[in-house]
Structure 1
Amino acid sequence: MLPILFTIEGGIATITLNRPDKLNSFNREMALLLQQKLDECASTKNIRCVYITGAGKGFCAGQDLAEVVDPQGPGMQRILSEHYNPIIARIRNLQKPVVAAVNGVAAGAGANIALACDIVVATQSASFIQAFSKLGLVPDSGGTYMLPRLIGWQKASALMMLGDKIAAPQAEQMGMIYKVFPDDDFVNESKKIAVTLAQMPTKGLAYIKHVLGNSMTNNLEQQLQLEDEFQQKAANTNDFKEGIQSFLEKRAPQFKGE
């Protein structure tokens, strides 16, 4: 059984974490294959949105601890440098929107991979856990970067130190995730978001992702300059021309991601 399932349909690449008997916890094979599929998403022109979810009852329980304690395993340093850090970098550098469809528990690295995505939605019954402290570890996979920027320093500090289990509705309320859907409607509603994104101006969305990401470290003057630079890039795309033309002609735009 492949640890990653991958399909392309209607401009959407669906990546399914597929170790359901282990709540989709990561081992080396799964981590390296996910990187490979993210690279394929980056290089395939007709992919205009990436949708990441989990098989079975969970999204991702983080690292498979059996691999950590295996004397023949990769070891903690390689797990971070060769597994999780490259995954986070690929998600953030991907010039296409990435949706995390959290269908169950997202713990440890699984939670932080979800939070690295551009839009995070979850089922009503899903939960998020910064589980690291209960093992004497430090949050990784970009968690110490993303979480305080999403919910603030104080809440992030408490969740990381206490390891509280946060139900999806609470995560939505505190701004950790975008939206929660009822379990029965989740697949349809979360896919609607991916469909919408796949039909939008892909380059423009990539520029939003880039400019927004830099806003976390830029001062105001730097950010204004960056907005100016990327607004000019956006104004030179074919999709911008189509957007203007469709507005003038009072019709729905037909964006091609160019």
Structure 2
Amino acid sequence: MRTDFQHLIVQRQGGVLTLLMNRPEVLNAFNAQLLQDCIEAAQAAAEDETVRCVVLAGAGRAFGSGQDLSFFKDPLSEDAGRDHLQHYHRLVQIIHTMPKPVVAALHGVATGISLNIALACDLRIAADTTRFSEGFARIGLVPDGGGAYFLTRLVGLSKALELSLLAEEILAPEAERIGLIHKCVPLSELETTVQALAQRLAEGPTVTYGLIKRLVYAAPDGDLSTIFALESELQGQAIQTADHKEAVAAFLQKRPPSYTGQ
């Protein structure tokens, strides 16, 4: 995949691909170019079988401060607003359906659309000083980028409404307590913690991880019979993978498995 993006730094370490949003002078606020860079890189990562885990992070003092508000200096028509959102929807959909784990590494602030893109990731690890806010109500907008979808599933309807209506900041320990993030750690430990988790995932059964994502994300919207059917379909695929066969052989031979991601 290409690495010469204007506002995105692409780093590769084994099976782990890190996408580092790089507009630090504006706390990685999204403009059209950063959004396009993220879409292109995320799509390439999703399609590259040698990439087995993706990390999304922000350069400088923050993960991301949301949409660059200079975008709104001229009023948008209703149609232009909808067209603008389609690009965010595409990025969120790519992350959410990527057939491999995606980890968000959060520090500084994660607000507005930046937060909601992080919510589309599978796991979120944050520095304990990170501040989170939906923020949209403060500028007269509704949460976008799938924010309402992910919030209600992660923290429940009541807390999702509270976060959206009041648009107040919460710190990482509270975000961990309510289930908004997976884990918070001291800022000095964030990079090593994220890399250790990403490397662990990259050494795991990648195809199975993709199937697990499909099953778990479908569960809240399906009845039990529907989930039974999907479970059977996906287990049928998982049982045919080389990694499943390797895991069984390793168990019988009393040795650690060596997964290839196939």
Normalised-by-shorter TM-score class: over 0.9
- The percent of aligned pairs where both chains have the same amino acid is 37
2:164 is matched with 160
CA contact (8 A) 1:242 1:253 kept: yes
TM-superposed CA distance for 1:76, in Å, is 2.5
Q: Within 1, Cα distance between the matches of 2:259 and 2:248?
A: 11
Deviations 1:214-248 (A, max 9, x none): 11211111011111111111000000000001111
1:84 is matched with 88
1:147 is matched with 151
Whether 1:96 and 2:97 are equivalent positions in the alignment is no
Aligned residues: 257
Q: Within 1, Cα distance between the matches of 2:212 and 2:225?
A: 17
**CA RMSD of the aligned region, Å?**
1.5
TM-superposed CA distance for 1:71, in Å, is 6.8
Structure 1 unaligned regions, length at least 5:
none
Deviations 1:3-50 (A, max 9, x none): 111122110110001000111010000101100001110121210000
Structure 2 unaligned regions, length at least 5:
none
Whether 1:45 and 2:49 are equivalent positions in the alignment is yes
Whether 1:58 and 2:62 are equivalent positions in the alignment is yes
TM-superposed CA distance for 1:78, in Å, is 2.5
1:233 partner amino acid: Q
1:109 is matched with 113
Whether 1:7 and 2:17 are equivalent positions in the alignment is no
Q: Within 2, Cα distance between the matches of 1:75 and 1:130?
A: 22
- Select which of 227, 232, 242 maps to 1:228: 232
CA contact (8 A) 1:52 1:98 kept: yes
What TM-score does the superposition give when structure 1 sets the normalisation length?
Answer: 0.96
1:96 partner amino acid: K
Q: Within 1, Cα distance between the matches of 2:229 and 2:200?
A: 29
Which secondary structure does the structure 1 equivalent of 2:221 belong to?
coil
Which secondary structure does the structure 2 equivalent of 1:53 belong to?
strand
2:219 is matched with 215
Q: Within 2, Cα distance between the matches of 1:165 and 1:72?
A: 27
Runs of 4+ in 1 over 6 A off after TM superposition: 71-74
The 5-angstrom pairing of residues 131-146 of structure 1 reads: 131-146=135-150
- Select which of 116, 119, 123 maps to 2:123: 119
